């Protein structure tokens, strides 16, 4: 037994809730599967896509590293999902751009992701409002941007959960007395596509940290996530 499949050649404009729209076909009769817009468009259009980061900031302090995992830790990029939040934050993408600011400099070593959960009592008292990627305003998110902000009030210490593909600055984590004609090899900026493979639940924190203390390094960062109901 064969079942006929109805199709329509060319694009269509339909409203939410329509269930009788035929498959889209090309002029050769083929079924077309398309993202239509960019892969983040739907989440942005629905008002569920947010971002947060920090402008160019010196990270030459142990608080930006995995050597500090308590309430004084400062994520280079990070978020906190408050305990009373009703959403999960699915992390989609992270960006890190780095610059060396002096001839005498030391890299931050490999960068890592660290996390903490269960911060429901005496919650974090710091944090910034993220950007809504639909309205370009700092409204609508239940999550806090912790990039460049100390985790003051953190109840449970961060734990390193894995390495990051992000990096930048001096290639090695040893002191480098560079000169104007002998500048060290450096890395600039990177993008890590997490595509929702890390979910930060209510009471959870995610932080990007260096593994050694950088010297004469500044960074700009951005974290992109979508928010969806926990129920």
Do 111 and 29 lie in one domain? The reply is no
Do 68 and 7 lie in one domain? The reply is no
Q: Is the pLDDT of residue 2 over 70?
A: no
Do 21 and 109 lie in one domain? The reply is no
pLDDT for 30 equals 73
- State the pLDDT confidence band at 15, using cuts at 50, 70 and 90: confident
- The dihedrals phi and psi of 156, each to the nearest 5 degrees, come to -110, 125
Chain mean pLDDT for the chain: 89
- Is 214 in contact with 100 (CB distance < 8 Å)? no
Q: Is the pLDDT of residue 58 over 80?
A: yes
Do 87 and 187 lie in one domain? The reply is yes
pLDDT for 120 equals 85
pLDDT for 160 equals 98
What's the domain count of the chain? 2
Q: Percentage of the chain surpassing pLDDT 70?
A: 88
Do 62 and 115 lie in one domain? The reply is yes
pLDDT for 231 equals 82
Do 100 and 142 lie in one domain? The reply is yes
Do 30 and 106 lie in one domain? The reply is no
| Integer CA distances (angstroms), 159 to 17, 56, 82, in order | 43, 26, 18
Do 21 and 108 lie in one domain? The reply is no
Q: Is the pLDDT of residue 187 over 70?
A: no
Joined together, the tokens standing for residue 213 give: 């203390």
Q: Is the pLDDT of residue 195 over 90?
A: yes
| Integer CA distances (angstroms), 57 to 68, 105, 106, 183, 192, in order | 18, 15, 16, 22, 20
Do 101 and 137 lie in one domain? The reply is yes
Spatial neighbors of 63 by CB under 8 A, at least 6 apart, are 72, 73, 74, 150
Do 51 and 30 lie in one domain? The reply is no
pLDDT for 61 equals 97
Do 54 and 92 lie in one domain? The reply is yes
Joined together, the tokens standing for residue 125 give: 């008292």
Structure pTM?
0.85
Do 42 and 129 lie in one domain? The reply is yes
Range of the domain at 76: 37-229
| Integer CA distances (angstroms), 96 to 135, 157, 206, 221, in order | 24, 24, 15, 5
């Amino acid at each position: 037994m064969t079942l006929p499949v109805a199709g329509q050649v060319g694009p269509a404009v339909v409203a939410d809730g329509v269930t009788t729209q035929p498959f889209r076909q090309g002029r050769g009769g083929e079924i077309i599967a398309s993202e239509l817009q960019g892969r983040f468009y739907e989440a942005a259009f629905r008002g569920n896509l947010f971002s947060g980061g920090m402008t160019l900031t010196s990270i030459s302090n142990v608080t930006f590293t995995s050597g500090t995992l308590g309430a004084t830790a400062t994520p280079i990029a990070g978020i906190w999902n408050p305990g009373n939040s009703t959403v999960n934050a699915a992390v989609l993408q992270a960006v890190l751009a780095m610059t060396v600011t002096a001839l005498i400099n030391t890299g931050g070593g490999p960068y890592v992701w660290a996390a903490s959960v269960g911060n429901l009592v005496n919650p974090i008292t710091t944090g910034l409002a993220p950007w809504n990627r639909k309205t370009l305003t700092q409204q609508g998110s239940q999550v806090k941007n912790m990039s460049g902000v100390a985790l003051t009030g953190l109840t449970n210490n961060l734990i390193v959960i894995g390495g990051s593909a992000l990096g930048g600055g001096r290639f090695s984590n040893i002191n480098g007395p560079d000169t104007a004609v002998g500048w060290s090899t450096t890395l600039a900026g990177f993008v890590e596509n997490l595509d929702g493979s890390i979910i930060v639940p209510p009471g959870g924190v995610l932080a990007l940290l260096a593994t050694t203390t950088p010297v004469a390094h500044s960074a700009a960062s951005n974290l992109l996530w979508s928010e969806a109901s926990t129920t």
